[in-house]
Amino acid sequence: MNNAIAVMITLLYIVIVATLVIKKYNSVFVFLVSGMVILLIFAIIGGNSIMDDKTTGNAVIDVFAYAANAFKSNASGVGLTLMMVTGYAVYMSHIGASTKLAYLATKPLSKIKNPYIVLSMLFVIGTLLKMVITSHAGLAMLLMAIAFPILTSLGISKLSAATVMIMCGFVDWGPNDSSAIFAAENVVGMPMMDYFLTYQGKTASILIIICAVFLPIYLRHMDKKDVSDGISVSKADMPHDVSCPAYYAILPIVPLVLITVFSFIPSINLDVVTANLLGLFFVFILELVRRRDRKEVTSDFSVVMKAMGNSFANVVSILIGAAVFAEAIKMLGGITIISNTLAAVKSAPIITMALMSMITFFAGMLLGSGNASWYAFGPLVPDVTAQMGVSTATIALPMQLSSGIGRCMSPVAGVVIAISGMAELDIMDIVKRCSIPAVVMYICNLVVSYSVV
């Protein structure tokens, strides 16, 4: 196939898939079936097996065997990790521990009189909570109940306060984050804590500091502009506490603490799944001691199981479909041709970093999902970096972070839709207010990632 034609067909395929997802077709179905169609076409026309020496003996059947292997490997590997992390996080929300943590973390800031200092500090606390409460929408809705009233009671506009709630989840980071786990284990090929300590933690921390300085300046300017345009700002009441004990605030961070501590003890190898299981065991014992209705406590285990099942349906399934989608893109050859061309350019790493990150940034914005964007295009990174002779993390890190940043300005993102409803604001007004911070953070992400990696 001619190189130009291969590139055009590859880009056309990506555009068609993206268009279907934007039009609300099921993303897992679109990724999986479209990928299998491409692989079947190559199997029928070329007769070459996608399974190589592990072939079933028939190139067409090999396509289905490849899809079956995608189910097996993702469900039992990184998929199990994501399901366990989700189960623990949802259980923490169920017993009120996540709300208690957020309330105790943000309550002291209500005593500070300068609203934009409070805004900046609440933003930092929110980004730290993102390591524990890994769902962007879940974190934002929790902060809406606790931090949003603090900001609006100090005179910050509802639109700017809502922007902070969304931007708190702009960086997907930490040992429990699904996209970070996928980046470490499936793309870069290193243990999660090594990836976090060596690359992601440093970059994310710098981006958070930059955003904590930029946000109050930008939002103060926008609020002043709103006032000059005659838009009034109504103050809200302060948030209320939840009923569970204060010490429950430490429970959501138990797995994170265990993973961090044991990462420095070479004789013990503690993975994310085991850390969350230890955390669940400890919390269930605590609940059995604290609550009188022990039968109800044991029934709460179904909350964990249902959350794990929902995680498989909503997150792990995207992993499976995206794996087949990514293989189809490789088979079409356009990305390989582009990477070979870039490899010949002297400043190729920074150009490739910018272009690949731009793909996940805009995909996150269009699809409304950082995971769908990253899972779809992340698997392409090892082949691209191999052609260029650079480390996989050089391209993977900014791509992974860009997908979450793009999600913050997506009108179809669950977090934006949820916050617009809770704050009673127009979705496009929120998207416009979030767009400048998101674009600035995308640019900063490229600069910081290139400097750190």
Per-residue model confidence (pLDDT) at position 437: 97
Q: How confident is the model at residue 311 (pLDDT cuts 50, 70, 90)?
A: confident
Q: pLDDT digits over 36-52, tens only?
A: 999 999 999 888 788 87
Q: What average pLDDT does range 64-73 have in this prediction? A: 89
Per-residue model confidence (pLDDT) at position 212: 97
On whether the CB atoms of residues 395 and 401 are closer than 8 A, the answer is no
Q: Is the model's pLDDT at 161 over the cut of 90? A: yes
CA 213 to chain centre: 23
Burial category of 292 from C-beta neighbours within 10 Å (exposed 0-12, middle 13-18, buried 19 and up)? exposed
Average pLDDT, the chain: 87
Give me the DSSP letters along 389-423. TS-HHHHHHHHHHHHHHHHTT-TT-HHHHHHHHHH
> Which run of H or of E encompasses 382?
helix 381-388
Burial category of 218 from C-beta neighbours within 10 Å (exposed 0-12, middle 13-18, buried 19 and up)? middle
Q: How confident is the model at residue 333 (pLDDT cuts 50, 70, 90)?
A: confident
Q: What average pLDDT does range 142-168 have in this prediction? A: 90
Compute the 3-state secondary structure of the chain and give helix, strand, coil in percent, each to the nearest 5.
80, 0, 20
Domain boundaries along the sequence of the chain: 76-313
* Phi (first) and psi of residue 450, to 5 degrees: -65, -35
Tokens of 447: 């600069």
Per-residue model confidence (pLDDT) at position 232: 59
The rounded distance, in Å, linking the Cα atoms of 86 and 312 is 10
Listed residue (345, 437, 445) closest to 400, CA to CA:
445
Cα distances (Å, whole numbers) of residue 69 to 73, 76, 128, 328, 402: 6, 11, 36, 15, 29
Per-residue model confidence (pLDDT) at position 288: 92
Q: Is the model's pLDDT at 297 over the cut of 70? A: yes
Q: Is the model's pLDDT at 295 over the cut of 60? A: yes
On whether the CB atoms of residues 123 and 434 are closer than 8 A, the answer is no
Q: How confident is the model at residue 216 (pLDDT cuts 50, 70, 90)?
A: very high
Per-residue model confidence (pLDDT) at position 346: 60
Q: How confident is the model at residue 400 (pLDDT cuts 50, 70, 90)?
A: very high
Handedness of CA 143, 96, 75, 256 (dihedral sign): positive
Q: pLDDT digits over 180-200, tens only?
A: 999 998 899 998 889 999 999
Per-residue model confidence (pLDDT) at position 198: 92
CA 118 to chain centre: 26
Per-residue model confidence (pLDDT) at position 230: 67
Q: What average pLDDT does range 62-88 have in this prediction? A: 86
CA 54, 60, 62 angle in degrees (round to 5)?
Answer: 25
Q: How confident is the model at residue 150 (pLDDT cuts 50, 70, 90)?
A: confident
Per-residue model confidence (pLDDT) at position 146: 85
Q: What average pLDDT does range 323-339 have in this prediction? A: 82
Cα distances (Å, whole numbers) of residue 253 to 85, 130, 143, 179, 217: 12, 11, 17, 19, 31
Per-residue model confidence (pLDDT) at position 50: 87
On whether the CB atoms of residues 99 and 91 are closer than 8 A, the answer is no
Listed residue (266, 88, 270, 85) closest to 181, CA to CA:
85
Listed residue (83, 79, 82, 87) closest to 284, CA to CA:
87
Q: pLDDT digits over 428-452, tens only?
A: 999 999 999 999 999 999 999 998 8
Q: What average pLDDT does range 79-86 have in this prediction? A: 85
Per-residue model confidence (pLDDT) at position 343: 62
Residue position matching structure tokens 């009923």: 243
Answer left, alpha or beta for residue 293, where phi above 0 means left and psi between -120 and 50 means alpha: beta
Q: How confident is the model at residue 338 (pLDDT cuts 50, 70, 90)?
A: confident
Per-residue model confidence (pLDDT) at position 317: 86
Q: How confident is the model at residue 137 (pLDDT cuts 50, 70, 90)?
A: confident
Per-residue model confidence (pLDDT) at position 157: 92
Q: What average pLDDT does range 347-376 have in this prediction? A: 86
Per-residue model confidence (pLDDT) at position 347: 64
Does pTM top 0.85 for this prediction? Answer: no
The rounded distance, in Å, linking the Cα atoms of 432 and 443 is 17
Listed residue (21, 24, 45) closest to 34, CA to CA:
21
Tokens of 216: 């109050």
Q: What average pLDDT does range 12-20 have in this prediction? A: 88
Per-residue model confidence (pLDDT) at position 238: 54
